[in-house]
Structure 1
Amino acid sequence: MPNYIFTFIFISKRMLYLTDRSVNIRRISMPLEKTKNIEALGIDKKQRILEAALKVFAQKSYHGASMSNIAQLAGVSKGLIYNYFTNKEALVKELLLENFKHFFDSYDFDFDNIGDKEMVSFIEQSFFLLDEHPESWKLLFGLSMQTEILEIITPELMTFFEPLLIGFTKYFASKGYKDSEAETKFFWALMDGISLDYLTMGLDREYCINRMKQIYQLD
């Protein structure tokens, strides 16, 4: 498993924002306002389940966690979870993969055409994103390090990750790096280590951003 997969998981913004897709609720001749209220209630419960799953998976590991653990923390019945997810694997997949689908929305540029401006934007925004919910990031980092979870999501994950990997590899090739693929991996390794220390050791954000810019001559 390539190490930069872990970095991609770690810096993905949308893992902090649990899916808000409306659940399918059968409508039976009722006022529109009442229907909306029921839908909102369903979404809220689903979000609570996903938020609880994140914490339980991080604390107990994927194999150590049970649907009962998740239900208890979410404050819902175990049976209700199965209204949304067929099993634990389906739950962890939605927890991670549905949010990866929105990852690219966080960056307003084409990953197939990365230049210096896009590199600066990517570096800066990545650190700003870490500041939004630092405690959640710590949970997510622990979750992403569980190999059993990566084995479940990697095939689908690569469909999101490959365009990003290819884009950065093309960028480094355009900058004259002889082994642009190796430089891409090195870039992810830098982001990985610095991001983790930023969260756990209280590194200064501007210092981290400026150092990354200096390394890649982006000033």
Structure 2
Amino acid sequence: MSVIELEDVVKRYQSGTETIEALKSVDFRADRGEMVTVIGPSGSGKSTMLNMIGLLDTPTEGHVRLDAREVTDFSEDELTEERRTGIGFVFQDFHLLPMLTAVENVELPSMWDTSVDRHDRAVDLLERVGLGDRLDHTPGQLSGGQQQRVAVARSLINEPDILLADEPTGNLDQDTGKTILEELTRLKEDENVAIVAVTHDDQMLDYTDTTVRIVDGVIREVSRP
């Protein structure tokens, strides 16, 4: 069963008197333990599609299902709760808070849930991405690759079903990017999460299970090696 599914999704935006159709009848799914890479030229609809999958935006037409549950018409509060508990985000620019240590940055998304103590999980995740000796370092004391590893660990703190990555290797050199992709591959299996990544990095295609090519808001090709 797919953990996230888009069915016949259309997204239109109004720009002055012009209507822009960013997504056109898009069908998409991702399963647990699967890495899906979305590729396409700038302006093709990749980011809009990622926003739909991450419940950051709602479709003009069509359906969005999370674990077979229809969430298309959820209220903003309901969508926020689904994002908080079921979806992790990894951003190209890391978005770490500079005054917090690595372990504090990883714990941050769980700090609003006082019913659980995520400190041990934060430490465990950082150890699993090779940063067990950098727990008390702030982002300014870490390299770009190390900061991205902290961001990956943070995305997993609430035990999500889906991890969304926006250009996860975009600010990294090739060797560091390879290390991040190897860690994502290992973590998707260990955590049984679905990873959906938008990228311009051809290197990522060597690690993906499914590649989705989108052009002008239309999915042109879905390939599985």
Normalising by structure 2, what TM-score?
0.26
Which one has a larger percent helix, Structure 1 or Structure 2?
A: 1
TM-score (norm 1): 0.26
Q: Point out the structure with max Rg over C-alpha.
A: 1
Decide which structure has greater strand share: 2
